[in-house]
Structure 1
Amino acid sequence: GFDATTLNTLFVDKNLKHHGLIQAFSRTNRILNSVKTFGNIVCFRDLQQATDDAIALFGDKDASSIVVLKDFLSYYDGYDTEKGKHCYGYKELVEQLQSEFPDGLPVVGEEAERRFVALFGSLLKSINILSTFDQFEGKKIITDRQLQDYQSNYLDLQEKWRHRKSGDKENINDDLVFETELIRQVEVNIDYILLLVQKYHDGNCTNKEILVSISKAIGSSIQLRSKKELIENFIGSVNADTDVEKSWKDFVQRQRDEDLEEIIESEHLKPQETEKFIESCFRDGQVRTTGTDIDKILPPMSRFGGSRQEKKKSVIEKLQAFFERYFGL
């Protein structure tokens, strides 16, 4: 059948069996990334036995417990496989995390860092699965604030241990994996931050707890971390007379123009070509470092001696940082 990686849910109101069942179910079962690790089949008919028979016929007769999603309590409380291996549930993972790494305390030492990354990654995967169950609402043990704190530490370690990227995961020393895609699906955006800033403004800029919430939200976000200084500088300019939404837009535009001008002057870049290049980056959603676009904005330089390559590298690093700072605002 066709490959439909983005298809999430299939509704079935028809008796299926054998290869017809496998093909239909497989439409939604293509793995897309760390977030979509399985598909959802909503059956209006009892196809449990037909599913087990089809799996046994076309695959492993003992694989039904692997292919078919287990019940809510299995993922919430944990369960043992037929071979006796225990799979930790959400409740157990939270208890381990809070016991070994109390909220608010730094993770110290390489062994502890490895343990924390593995444990929190397992918790993220557990939450990802449980979020498909309606029963999970109201049964979350760890609060959003606590999750943000742990997530902030997790991202701090990712930056510290950054080595190489592979797909939607970042492998660290070959045996440590950061589940960044699972963080992206739940992270806050700039609109949420501005709502908090508005709330801070409406309280006459006196509620320090809101500032703490903003800081934690930024620290737990992959996308907003590079914008932290920009956001904090804006908050520092907010007073009782500030129109938060309008002032934010004006502030970002002004800072963006100033920062780009500083890069152009410090690197002696061609102004018009650089501005055109940056606009194309924001339009395309990335800074393209291949091709001749970068070369077109560089000042005249000799191609011999390696100085041009060093200049190009420096320019790319600054433009990449600039892009990450302002993209999405």
Structure 2
Amino acid sequence: MVADQLLTGYDSKRLNTLYVDRKLELQGLIQAYSRTNRVFDSSKEFGTIINYKYPEITKSHVTEAIKLYGSGGNSSRIIVEDYSVAVGNLATSIYELKETLPNPTEWINLMNDEEKKELFISAFTVASKCLNSVTQYYCFKWDNQSFGLTEHKWKQYVGAFKNLTDSDDSSRDDVPVVDLYSTKLQGTEIIDSQHILNLIGEKTTVEGDNQTINDEVLRLINEEIEDLSNLGKDQQSKLLKRFVDKVLVPGEIPAGVRIDDEFNKWKKIFTV
């Protein structure tokens, strides 16, 4: 609900959606709607107005108010394109991204090819900006067919970008990296170092005085480590792989010792 007292002198960059169920015109309309247009960071480019009163009349009032109070310039958009148009732009950018790297898990092939790497980074930047815009629509819902890839595949592209730019941040100043579910596969645990260490702890068995794993468990753990690398945590995955190969597999962890404690102790010695 919007009170007249909030129409001026009120500024909240976090405000994304305004629900209107009253008649607004001219400067009152511009002032109210403008409460949502404060750019918060790269993740918020515009706001959303949901109007419950007479859509066609409201559209006319908006058009009239923009003509009177709009800047008339081309430096910024007053009304963004329809969701379907934004999705179309995203699908195009995803297609062009795939052209630079069809399989995001093969990012290592671009590591020493500066030209191809820059083409990928450029295409990813465009796609990520398009996806960032699409996620800001209130009707956003991931659509594999319309977008051109699955959520997990997008996460792998994010991982490729992070690995190739040696960036462990969720975003850079010039690229709004859309993680969507923060290194998480739908319906599963968060995939990170702690998740893998917990998995190892659950799967080890005791032989004599030490902990050990069988070949099937080792295969499962290596798959998880590879997935961690593909999700943009290549340095973490390499450290875990070395720990597994040099400490866990040879049976050097005493029975009764927590795997994560042993890993942290080993990591301090190994990385000194």
Does the 8 Å CA contact 1:149/1:220 hold for their aligned counterparts?
yes
Shift of 1:138: 4.6
- CA change 1:16–1:159 in 2 (3 A) is same
Partner of residue 275, structure 1: none
Does the 8 Å CA contact 2:228/2:234 hold for their aligned counterparts?
no
- CA change 1:231–1:95 in 2 (3 A) is same
Does the 8 Å CA contact 1:187/1:220 hold for their aligned counterparts?
no
Partner of residue 115, structure 1: 119
Shift of 1:53: 2.1
- CA change 1:257–1:201 in 2 (3 A) is closer
Per-residue CA distance 1:171-229 (angstroms, 9 max, x = gap): xxxxxx3x2x4345542169512389759959x873747743553344424xx556435
Any gaps of 5 or more consecutive residues in structure 2?
A: 1-8, 205-213, 250-255
TM-score, normalization: structure 1?
A: 0.55
Is 1:74 the counterpart of 2:80? The answer is no
Aligned residue among 190, 212, 229 for 1:192: 190
Partner of residue 127, structure 1: 131
The correspondence of residues 161-310 of structure 1 with structure 2, limited to 5 A, is 169-170=172-173, 177=174, 179=175, 181-188=176-183, 191-193=189-191, 194=195, 198=199, 201=203, 206=216, 208=219, 211-212=222-223, 214-221=225-232, 227-229=236-238, 231-232=240-241, 237=248, 250-256=258-264
Does the 8 Å CA contact 1:17/1:54 hold for their aligned counterparts?
yes
Partner of residue 288, structure 1: none
SS of 2:120's partner is helix
Partner of residue 7, structure 1: 15
Does the 8 Å CA contact 1:72/1:135 hold for their aligned counterparts?
no
Equivalent AA in structure 2 for residue 10 of structure 1: L
Query: Identity rate of aligned residues, in percent?
Result: 22
Does the 8 Å CA contact 2:131/2:178 hold for their aligned counterparts?
no
Partner of residue 143, structure 2: 137
SS of 2:50's partner is strand
Does the 8 Å CA contact 2:225/2:240 hold for their aligned counterparts?
no
Is 1:157 the counterpart of 2:164? The answer is yes
The correspondence of residues 73-112 of structure 1 with structure 2, limited to 5 A, is 73-77=84-88, 89-103=89-103, 104=106, 106-107=109-110, 109-112=113-116
- CA change 1:51–1:215 in 2 (3 A) is farther
The correspondence of residues 28-43 of structure 1 with structure 2, limited to 5 A, is 28-43=36-51
Per-residue CA distance 1:41-67 (angstroms, 9 max, x = gap): 11112222222222222223476x922
Shift of 1:111: 3.2
Does the 8 Å CA contact 1:94/1:141 hold for their aligned counterparts?
yes
Partner of residue 324, structure 1: none
- CA change 1:101–1:20 in 2 (3 A) is same
- CA change 1:229–1:110 in 2 (3 A) is closer
Equivalent AA in structure 2 for residue 192 of structure 1: I
SS of 2:237's partner is helix
Whole-angstrom CA distance in 1 between matches of 2:128 and 2:189: 24
- CA change 1:23–1:113 in 2 (3 A) is same
Whole-angstrom CA distance in 1 between matches of 2:242 and 2:30: 56
- CA change 1:52–1:4 in 2 (3 A) is same
Whole-angstrom CA distance in 2 between matches of 1:234 and 1:258: 8
Equivalent AA in structure 2 for residue 124 of structure 1: S
Whole-angstrom CA distance in 2 between matches of 1:97 and 1:43: 36
Partner of residue 65, structure 2: 54
Any gaps of 5 or more consecutive residues in structure 1?
A: 78-88, 171-176, 239-245, 267-329
Equivalent AA in structure 2 for residue 228 of structure 1: S
Partner of residue 18, structure 1: 26
Q: Of the two structures, which has the highest relative contact order with CA contacts closer than 8 Å and spacing of 6 or more? A: 2
Whole-angstrom CA distance in 1 between matches of 2:160 and 2:60: 45
